[in-house]
Every structure is written in structure tokens, then in C-alpha cells.
Structure 1
Amino acid sequence: LQAESTFSEEEEEKLQIAFSLEKQDLHLVLETMSFILEQAVYHNLKPASLQQQLQSIHLDQDKAEAFASAWAAAGQDTIEKFRQRVLTPQKLETIGWQLNLQMAESMQAKLKSPQAVLELGVSNEDSKNLKKVFVEFSHQELFEFYNKLETIQAQLDSLT
């Protein structure tokens, strides 16, 4: 879910205006709502249970009721959509990488701009075709990606 944006830039601007929120605050609200719904899907929560858990973390009663009401209306459809996505996930088959080093055009500057390029070979279970995805990282982006992978690994380790 996190990789996909729920709203277009234009829709986000309209939401910012409607709720009088800064862009950063709107993104925090959207990420929080996404997390709550992901957890509801993962645990297959009943609307009353969702409302109770949201109130236990001190979410206002009216907001908890709104989540529970929306979950009652669309929860089962949402869970079914996730189940269908899980049945045909993309599987990582290969990983390759290379370093690209671009030199500045001016000999005086001598600035280097190193880039790491990951090549991910992914396939669907229903298709044996390997699709290659290339992701380019600056040093800082690669470091942030590494830290996220470390967090994911720690969470996986805690579950096993």
C-alpha cells in the first residue's frame, strides 16, 4: 500500500484546502489512516473491535465511530481485494547492482555524483516472464533504504 499513492497531487491539494492542513500534516494523516486500515485488514477486525481498539489509543469517539462505520461498509470487500492480491504476488527472483560515477563537466569542480543502481528481477506466479525493475539511489537515498530494510528485518526477526 505504501508504494501506491491513494490521491493525485490535485486531489491532495483539494484535501489540504478542505481540512486546512499543510502538505506534511496531510501526508501524516493519510499514512496514519492507511496504517490503521492495513492493521484492520491484517487482523480481520470486526467494526466494533476496530472502534474499541482506536478508542483505547485515545482516538476521539466520533473519529473511532467514523472508522468503524467505514469499515462496516467496506471492510469485507477490502479484505477480499487484499486476499486476491496476495494470491498472485510478485516474487523477487534476481538482484543485481552496479555503481555509476558521473564526473562534473568542469575540470575545476571535480565533483563526483556516485549513484547505485539496483536491478530487481520480479515475476508473477501466473507468469514466468521476468520483469526487470531498475532503481537508482544517491548515497543518502541508499542509506535511508538500507535503514528501512534493517527495520523490516528486525520486525521479521521479532516474529520468528
Structure 2
Amino acid sequence: MALMFQVTTSIKKAVALINEVDAAKFPRILSRVLQKLHLRDERSFTEDEEEKLQTALGLESKDIQLVLETIAFILEQAAYHSAKPSVLEQQLKGIELEDDKISVFVKAWTANGKGVIENLRHRTIAPNQLEDVSWRLNLQMGQANSAKMKLPNAMFELGVKKDDGSKERVRMEFNHEELYDFYDKLETIQSQLDSIS
């Protein structure tokens, strides 16, 4: 299996901080991060809770942030690679995480890994999602100063569903050239998606 974690300066510092975290407190911290991992805009801990964590763990605010982000990163990488618990254990040893912390990660991943992967699969990158498309073609045949003309244009109405469940209608108008350019871009996107899957 490919390396899930590159040993960077940031990872080294985060691992050193995680290794210092009290073994009795670490499982609860990991559990909270695991529960909130799939929620894109929600932090694992509120600002008040992070301040309490700072005091309880004796770490600075930026160090708490680094620890929480690294725990989330490790879990996201495990999900991305659909890592088996034994592989996760081996990868965590590779970044020099201590055995007691590794066992907490492996235990949590064994119990919750499938659910985390499923939840992350349903998480979208963008807050808005296209729900429906309607269109019509217009053809302008004349104008006051020009009796003979043919100016086609396409009108699109996109139904967009937002994160909060509300819906919005987006209207766009294209002339022939603009529509052709748009189509070319969609074709490029489609071929890139096809090459990935």
C-alpha cells in the first residue's frame, strides 16, 4: 500500500504533541473528532471547549488546532484509502506515533471505519448542488432597424439546492458561440471524470 502520510515538519510536530497528550483523555478527543468528521462546516470542538482543552492538556491554542487537524487528517486519509486496521497501524508506526495512541486510533477505526467512509462519501465538496435543468431556444428574427436577421440564443434555468435545504433558480442566456464554448468545457470535464472512474 502507498504511504498515507508524508513525514513533514508539521506532521512531526503534530505527532510529538499527540504523543504528549494524556492517554486517558486522548480517546475522548479522538472520538469527538471522529463523530464530527463528515460535517464540513462544523468544528469538532467549540471555541469554549478548545479553551478548556488548552488548559486540560497544557497546550497553546495553535497546538490544539494542529492536534485536532492532524487527528482529522489521519482519519480522512484512512477513509480515503479504505485502510484496514492493520494497515493503519503500520502507517501510524511509520510516522512514529506512540503505541498507546496507535491502539486508540486502530480501535476507533475498527469500530467506526465503515460508517466514517460512508458518511464522507455522502459529503459534498460544494455547498450547492444542481437539482434540475430546464431550457428553451429563442430565435430573434427581426428588429426595428433590421428586418432580416436570425439570432439564436439558449435560455437555461438551473434548479440549485443549497446546504440549508432551500432552493434557488439560476437563469443563464447563451448565444451560439457562448453555448458552444460551454459545451466544450463540459466535454472536457466529462472526459476527466471518465478517466478517474
User: Of 59, 69, 73, which aligns to 1:21?
Assistant: 59
Question: Which residue does the alignment assign to 1:109?
Answer: none
Letter in 1 for 2:116: T
User: Of 69, 83, 98, which aligns to 1:31?
Assistant: 69
Letter in 2 for 1:85: R
Q: SS of the residue aligned with 1:130?
A: strand
Which structure is richer in relative contact order (CA contacts within 8 A, separation 6 or more)?
2
User: Of 30, 50, 60, which aligns to 2:98?
Assistant: 60
Question: Which residue does the alignment assign to 2:108?
Answer: 70
Question: Which residue does the alignment assign to 2:78?
Answer: 40
> Structure 2 vs 1, CA of residues 23 and 131 (structure 1 numbering), >3 Å: closer, same or farther?
farther
Q: CA deviation at 1:89?
A: 6.8
Structure 2 residue ranges without an equivalent (≥5) = 1-38, 131-159, 171-195
> Structure 2 vs 1, CA of residues 27 and 64 (structure 1 numbering), >3 Å: closer, same or farther?
same
Instruction: Please report the TM-score for the alignment, with normalisation by the length of structure 2.
Output: 0.44
Structure 1 Cα separation of the partners of residues 41 and 166 of structure 2: 24
Question: Which residue does the alignment assign to 2:121?
Answer: 83
Instruction: Please report the TM-score for the alignment, with normalisation by the length of structure 1.
Output: 0.54
Larger CA deviation: 22-31 vs 76-85: 76-85
Structure 1 Cα separation of the partners of residues 40 and 101 of structure 2: 23
Question: Which residue does the alignment assign to 1:129?
Answer: 167
> Structure 2 vs 1, CA of residues 45 and 90 (structure 1 numbering), >3 Å: closer, same or farther?
farther
Aligned-residue sequence identity (percent) comes to 49
The Cα offsets for residues 31-82 of structure 1, whole Å up to 9 and x where unpaired, read as 1111101111111111111111010122112211211111112111111212
Q: Does 2:8 align with 1:9?
A: no
- Higher strand fraction: Structure 1 or Structure 2? 1
CA RMSD in angstroms, aligned pairs only: 3.4
> Structure 2 vs 1, CA of residues 131 and 34 (structure 1 numbering), >3 Å: closer, same or farther?
farther
- In the alignment of these two chains, the number of paired residues is 104
Structure 2 Cα separation of the partners of residues 131 and 51 of structure 1: 48
Q: CA deviation at 1:3?
A: 3.9
